[in-house]
Homo-oligomer: A and B are copies of this chain.
């Protein structure tokens, strides 16, 4: 449904939002989010390029959020690493096919839009303040 890369990016961003003081090296983020460190490093680089996190090298370096958690939607994050693609044009050749396939792709795009909407309307801050609402299974 959503790429592994996007899942990892979301976990890392939630962790960074949870711990806004100071920078966190990839090893620490990997440990807390249970993401393979080698790969997470690459994912974080993409997030840096997308300006969603900022990085700092050297001793006491690491990663931190590039913007306040309230201004970072889940959609920003997902699109930063593996963008959700809307269906804008009919994937088949144009006019010569029946219009039912167009109807199909119209519905398809509606579904994607609905999915995308959930991501657009939720920020990292929303997740933080919702703490306790969803109790983890024991």
Contact = CB atoms under 8 A, between A and B. Distances in A.
Copies in the complex: 2
Interface stretch (A20-28, A43-51, A54-62, A96-104): A96-104
Interface of A: 1-2, 7, 10-11, 14, 17-18, 32-34, 74, 84-85, 89-95, 97-104, 106-108, 110-112, 114-115, 117-119, 122, 127-128, 130-138
A138 B103 CA distance: 15
Nearest to A32: B97
Contacts of A112: 1, 115
Most-contacted residue by chain B among A102, A110, A131, A138 (CB, 10 A):
A102
A3 to B, nearest CB: 10
A102 B32 contact: no
